[in-house]
Amino acid sequence: MKRNGLDITVLVLGIACIGMLTVNRYIFRPVWKTEFRTELKQVKKELKKDLHDSKDEIKEASKEGKKEMKESRKETNSALKESRKEVKVDMKEAKDDFKESMNLSY
């Protein structure tokens, strides 16, 4: 069997393809994976940092909200106490007026 130039070319190209597949699998792919892993780790760190920062912001905002609620509750309670005192005074005056008017009618 004679080998012509086409057979030799196909054989050389086949060997080159097998060599490139081997180089890709055992050399390039692990390098790409390590680069991807380092980038992935950096992205994860950034996400964790952003998440932690947002949690801190939420905690601070809730603390401020709680303080505002406490202050408004105190103001409302003090306003209610004052209005109760005023109502009690008005009721006492009305009672006294009623007693005086009852005493005068006798």
CA distance readout (Å), 5 to 11, 18, 84: 10, 20, 111
Per the model's pLDDT, the better-predicted residue between 38 and 57 turns out to be 57
pLDDT for res 53: 94
Domain boundaries in the chain?
1-79
Task: Report DSSP state, residue 1.
Answer: -
> Is residue 81's pLDDT more than 70?
yes
> Is residue 21's pLDDT more than 90?
no
Supply the mean pLDDT for the chain: 88
> Is residue 1's pLDDT more than 70?
no
> Is residue 106's pLDDT more than 70?
no
